[in-house]
Amino acid sequence: MFKTYTIPISQKKSSNLYDLWIKNGFENEKNIDINKSLLSGSEVQSNLIKLYLYENKDHILSSAVIVMNIQNPSIAAIGEVCTSLNSRGKGLANSLCEKIIEDYFSNDQNNAIFLGTVNPIAEKIYKSLGWKNIDNSLVMFNSKNQDDFESFLNKYNKNELRKNISEGNSNFRLSIIPFVLSIRSNNQIDLNSKINLINKTSSCLGLFNKYESLQFRQGKWFSLSDDENRIFSIVSYLEENNKSFRIDGLFNKFYYDDSKKLIKFLVNKLVNQKANKIYAEIYKKDELKLQLFHELGFTEENNIKKKIDEENLDFKKFLL
């Protein structure tokens, strides 16, 4: 039987979902983007989360989840598309995604849906429903107007609203997706959030979780964004022993001066916290970030190697 639920859902329903996801492809909770806190309603003030299911009594056969920001529903993302092994081959996931598209695009405000996949079979299904590959990534994009991703970005960023510096929060769960994808070819790595844009990424709804995890590792992040939660640059820090702080981030070259202001904002904040050391470790091919930090008074200290996703890469260490 087909059913939809709006988050929050009961603890029992949440447990049944996790049982489906972990036993049928996700393997462990770390690979699940829609965590139990979200299912219990932790972000009901900022994000609308809807669950689409095929179920038989208390047994869930197939699932798909759509997330959209309440303040700016123009973009959405789908995650946790999963069907139990015994129910595969019946078109259940295809049907759920089709229903999501129909419901979401029925609203005039809603324009685009993202999803990430590494499954070539699933990719064919998504393409049949209108999704297109985004170059140099494993994320797909579906537009109400049949735009490609680059055309969508031009329209999405066209509205020049006032830009603010805001501490990272759940209102950015969706908007971080088009932002990160817009700079996917710029050789950027944020060591603090562990987002690596050198290799193709399938991360979609999981991108926000990477920044959210900073709060559990003595870190924070801040965004340059507008009143509709569009993101234009991100800066982050991790605090180490003895008030030593590593600054990093992801920056858009089209907002260069604003990105400098964002980094300077964080530097001033850390100085006010009596930081003993402020430094950055920058991938040597990231010309944009190298230039930004050099112009802000950071001096190159030495060259270092770091293992990123099983690959040894050359970095430059800068000290303020």
The token pair that represents 272 in the structure block: 């006010």
> How far is residue 190's CA from residue 179's CA, in Å, rounded to a whole number?
14
| pLDDT at residue 310 in the model | 83
Q: What is the pLDDT of residues 64-113, one digit of tens each?
A: 999 999 999 999 999 999 999 999 999 999 999 999 999 999 999 999 99
Band of pLDDT at residue 202, cut at 50, 70 and 90: low
Is the Cβ–Cβ distance between 126 and 110 less than 8 Å? no
Residue 55, pLDDT > 90, answer: yes
| Domains along the chain with CATH numbers | 2-155 (3.40.630.30), 163-319 (3.40.630.30)
Is the Cβ–Cβ distance between 278 and 235 less than 8 Å? no
Mean pLDDT of 191-213: 89
**Which amino acid belongs to residue 141?**
F
Q: Give the predicted TM-score (pTM) of the model.
A: 0.94
| pLDDT at residue 157 in the model | 83
| pLDDT at residue 146 in the model | 87
> How far is residue 208's CA from residue 146's CA, in Å, rounded to a whole number?
26
Q: Exposed/middle/buried for 228, CB within 10 Å: 0-12, 13-18, 19+?
A: middle
Distances (CA, A) of 250 to 55, 187, 194, 224: 41, 10, 11, 11
The token pair that represents 188 in the structure block: 């950027």
| pLDDT at residue 247 in the model | 98
Band of pLDDT at residue 213, cut at 50, 70 and 90: very high
Alpha-carbon torsion, ordered 181, 149, 133, 113, to 10 deg = 90
SS (H, E, C) the chain: CEEEEECCCCHHHHHHHHHHHHHHHHCCHHHCCCCHHHHCCCCCCCEEEEEEEEEECCEEEEEEEEEEECCCCCEEEEEEEEECHHHCCCCHHHHHHHHHHHHHHCCCCCCEEEEECCCHHHHHHHHHCCCEECCCCCEEEEECCCCCHHHHHHHHCCCCCCEEEEECCHHHCCCHHHHHHHCCCCCCEECCCCEECCCCCCCCCHHHHHHHHHHHCCEEEEEEEECCCCEEEEEEEEECHHHEEEEEEEECHHHHHHHHHHHHHHHHHHHHCCCCEEEEEEECCCHHHHHHHHHCCCEEEEEEEEEECCEEEEEEEEEC
| pLDDT at residue 43 in the model | 96
> How far is residue 162's CA from residue 232's CA, in Å, rounded to a whole number?
12
| pLDDT at residue 114 in the model | 96
Residue 255, pLDDT > 90, answer: yes
User: Of 318, 264, 319, 239, which is closest to residue 286 (Cα–Cα)?
Assistant: 318
Residue 160, pLDDT > 80, answer: no
Mean pLDDT of 152-175: 90
Q: Which of 15-24, 137-146, 151-160, 253-262 has the lowest mean pLDDT?
A: 151-160
Q: What's the sign of the alpha-carbon dihedral 3, 95, 75, 66?
A: positive
Band of pLDDT at residue 293, cut at 50, 70 and 90: very high
| pLDDT at residue 118 in the model | 83
Mean pLDDT of 194-211: 87
**Beta pairing partners, 304:** 315
Alpha-carbon torsion, ordered 66, 143, 227, 159, to 10 deg = 180
